[in-house]
Amino acid sequence: MCIQTNYRPTKAVIDLQAIASNISSLRKHLQPDVQIIAVVKANAYGHGDIEVAKAAIRAGATMLAVATPDEAVHMRTNFPDIDILILGATPLNFIPYASKENITLTVFSADWINHANAYSPLPQSVKVHIKIDSGMGRIGVTTKEELQALYEAIAATSQFILDGIFTHFATADEEDTLYFDNQVYLFKELLGALPTKPRLVHVANTATALVKDTSLQYDAVRFGISMYGLTPSSYVGEILPFPIQPAFSLQTELVHVKKLEAGQSVGYGALFTANEDVYIGTIPIGYADGMIRKLSGQEVLVGGERAKIIGRICMDQSMILLPKAYNVGEPVVLIGKQGQQEITMDDWANKLETINYEVPCVITARVPRVYK
Ligand SMILES: *Cc1c(COP(=O)(O)O)cnc(C)c1O
């Protein structure tokens, strides 16, 4: 007997066509030879990394970027041939795997390169990209001296091949360009100090790729948030060079409907009390799914109309105030479109006082990602 899973109707539906379309639109916007690095870290921003990476590669991405060694292993297991770049710091003990499985590492310290000698000989040289910290203040070399020392350490060993150099911007999604321009200036200063230019120079995240000067596309862009159809900021949203399509929608169904009489209450703390006779629907999603309690009061869509989440959100269930008596099994959309209405990732982000990036990342693994 085949074991069925996902009995519960709560699911994240991921539109892979939207992902492909966002990449195709970017392709047309980029200069012809610029490569697309699909950023699929953190389970593809919570969208499901394997399926997203497949769609991205099919749509023209030539490299995958992840944050951690374990994410790289997961990608390599599923994609034997594509170039994979780890954007974060990698511990030395990952070097043998990186060598054997051709994982490209981010490096930013000559000491790290020198300590890697402990792992020689390696089956093959490990490709590395130098990270320049031009103002993000996270990882990277900040001075010409550090860069020179790192470059020489790489050149002095056959264990490593310099394949790329990059930086990351702190304010590319903002209207004020002062800090951004300064980062560009510092990056160019350091790039100019390099004796030879590696194969891939890349500085552009989504915001830079979409709204900044085309010269900053260099050899590749690192396409993250707008691959998923979300905007890096409301400012970038206003000046997008092409329309993008959101890929993530969160859906469930009513599992119970009841009439509440005036004076009766709902949920922990009995925080919601009906002041007239109302219909209440129960949906099987709660804070253990990532719909944290701060989302109480957020609207959902049912029957093409907006309905509010009322009372406290429970661990596994929540209650909504229905516009009328619906049947059990009625579809409920928490994020996405239904009829003429739409609840966006940004609506949730606003309610949660955060950014859209964070929302799909914190929808937990209990919510199955299904693909269309
Ligand atoms: C996450 C990340 C990106 C992608 O950023 P978006 O704003 O989602 O395009 C690019 N580069 C680095 C170094 C990152 O960590």
Query: Has residue 8 been placed in a domain?
Result: no
203 ligand 1 Cβ < 6 A: no
CA 250/CA 363 separation, integer angstroms? 9
Rounded to the nearest angstrom, the distance between the alpha carbon of 298 and the centre of ligand 1 is 29
The DSSP result for 203-225, as a single string, is -B-HHHHHHS-GGGGTTEEEE-G
Shared-domain flag, residues 69 and 158: yes
What local confidence, expressed as pLDDT, does residue 3 receive?
Answer: 72
286 ligand 1 Cβ < 6 A: no
Q: Which atom of ligand 1 is nearest to the CA of 357?
A: 8
- Mutation to probe ligand 1, out of 222, 234, 355, 359 (largest number of atoms < 8 A from CB): 222
Query: Has residue 369 been placed in a domain?
Result: no
Q: Which of 144, 185, 268, 372 is catalytic?
A: 268
CATH number at residue 288: 2.40.37.10
Rounded to the nearest angstrom, the distance between the alpha carbon of 319 and the centre of ligand 1 is 36
Query: Has residue 165 been placed in a domain?
Result: yes
Averaged over 1-23, what is the pLDDT? Answer: 92
Shared-domain flag, residues 254 and 234: no
For residue 43, give both structure tokens: 């389970």
Q: Tell me the pLDDT of the chain averaged across its residues.
A: 97
Among 238, 263, 294, residue at a domain's last position: 238
85 ligand 1 Cβ < 6 A: no
Quick count: other Cβ atoms within 10 Å of Cβ 110?
Answer: 19
Query: Has residue 34 been placed in a domain?
Result: yes
CA 163/CA 181 separation, integer angstroms? 25
Residue 50 pLDDT more than 90? yes
Residue 289 lies in domain: 248-343
Shared-domain flag, residues 201 and 136: yes
Q: Summarize pLDDT for 215-250 with one digit per residue, the tens.
A: 999 999 999 999 999 999 999 999 999 999 999 999
Rounded to the nearest angstrom, the distance between the alpha carbon of 347 and the centre of ligand 1 is 22
Query: Has residue 30 been placed in a domain?
Result: yes
**41 labelled catalytic:** yes
Shared-domain flag, residues 119 and 267: no
> Would you call 101 exposed, middle or buried from its count of C-beta atoms within 10 A (0-12, 13-18, 19+)?
middle
Shared-domain flag, residues 226 and 80: yes
87 ligand 1 Cβ < 6 A: yes
Task: Specify the amino acid at residue 368.
Answer: P
Residue 2 pLDDT more than 90? no
Q: Summarize pLDDT for 272-320 with one digit per residue, the tens.
A: 999 999 999 999 999 999 999 999 999 999 999 999 999 999 999 999 9
222 ligand 1 Cβ < 6 A: yes
225 ligand 1 Cβ < 6 A: yes
Cβ–Cβ < 8 Å for 361, 6: no
Shared-domain flag, residues 100 and 196: yes
Shared-domain flag, residues 226 and 317: no
Shared-domain flag, residues 87 and 114: yes
Averaged over 16-26, what is the pLDDT? Answer: 98
Among 191, 216, 238, residue at a domain's last position: 238
Among 175, 207, 238, residue at a domain's last position: 238
- Mutation to probe ligand 1, out of 168, 217, 355, 356 (largest number of atoms < 8 A from CB): 168
Shared-domain flag, residues 135 and 260: no
Shared-domain flag, residues 62 and 210: yes
Shared-domain flag, residues 158 and 293: no
Shared-domain flag, residues 322 and 202: no
What local confidence, expressed as pLDDT, does residue 105 receive?
Answer: 99
- 4 confidence band (pLDDT: 50, 70, 90): confident
**What domain count does the chain have?**
2
224 ligand 1 Cβ < 6 A: yes
**218 labelled catalytic:** no
Query: Has residue 2 been placed in a domain?
Result: no
Task: Specify the amino acid at residue 46.
Answer: G
CATH number at residue 169: 3.20.20.10
Query: Has residue 370 been placed in a domain?
Result: no
Among candidates 106, 58, 107, 105, which has minimal Cα distance to 79? 58
What local confidence, expressed as pLDDT, does residue 1 receive?
Answer: 60
